[in-house]
Amino acid sequence: MSLPGSNSARHVAIIMDGNGRWAKRRHLPRAEGHRRGVEAVRRIARAAREMGLEALTLYAFSTENWRRSEDEIAALMGLMKRFILSDLDEFVANNVRLRIIGDYKAFPADITKLIDNALARTAGNDGTTLAVALNYGAQDEIARAAAKAAAQGAVTVEAIEAELDTAGMPPLDLLIRTSGEQRLSNFLLWQAAYAELWFTDVLWPDFKPEHLAEALASFGTRERRYGGR
C-alpha cells in the first residue's frame, strides 16, 4: 500500500465510459464510438507506460455487457481481436505485461486463443502491467475469492485478497471514470476501498494523456489517511 502522504500513484484503474454518447452526439453508429474508444485505450496505455505507472487496469467488458444487442457485442468482439493482433508486438517490445481479470474463457474460442497467446508472450515482461477487465464483475470476483479462501481454511481479509483477480498487483491508488457518471458500476469494489476517485465529464474516446496527467496531478495533492485520523 502506498504510504499516507505519498503523491505518486502506482496503480490506476479507469472505467472507460461514454463511447455510445460520443457516437450519438456525432450522429454516428455506436460501433464507431467503440472503435474510437479502442484508439483511446492505445494512447492511454502508452501514456501510462511513459508516465511510469506500475499498473493500469481498464474496464473493457463487464458481466452485464452481455445484455447489449448481439450486433454491438459482435462489434466489441471484433475490435478486441483487432486490438490484440495490432498491438501485441508493441507490448512485447515495450516490456508491457498483459493481464486479464474476469472470466475471459466465456468469450468465443478464437478470441480466447488470441488472449492466451498474448498472455504467454508478455508473461516474462516486468514493466507496466496492463490489466484488462473482460467479462468482469466485482461482486462475482469477491464471491469467487471468498469461496476459494473458505476451501483452504479461515476466511480473512488476507485470504480473500490472495484469491482476487488482481492478486500480486500493486494496491489500487486511483480510480478514474469518464463521461460524467459518478458510480463504480461493479468495478474493483474490494480494491477501491481506499483508492482515490477522480471523475471527468470527458467522454472516453476524447480522453487523452493530458487528462490522465491531470488526474495524477490531483492525486498528488491528496492526503491519504486510510481511516487513521
Active site (catalytic) residues: 17, 65
Q: Which residue, among 142, 100, 144, 128, has the nearest Cα to 12 in the 3D structure?
A: 128
Burial of 14 (0-12, 13-18, 19+ CB in 10 A): buried
Q: Are 189 and 142 in contact (CB under 8 A)?
A: yes
Contact 164, 190 (CB under 8 A): yes
Instruction: Render 90-112 in DSSP notation, one character per residue.
Output: HHHHTTPEEEEES-GGGS-HHHH
The grid cell for 207 is 480522453
Q: Residue 161 corresponds to which amino acid?
A: E
How many C-beta neighbours within 10 Å does residue 46 have?
16
- Distance from C-alpha of 20 to C-alpha of 28, rounded to nearest angstrom: 9
Cα(181)–Cα(74) distance, integer angstroms: 25
Residues present in the chain in total: 229
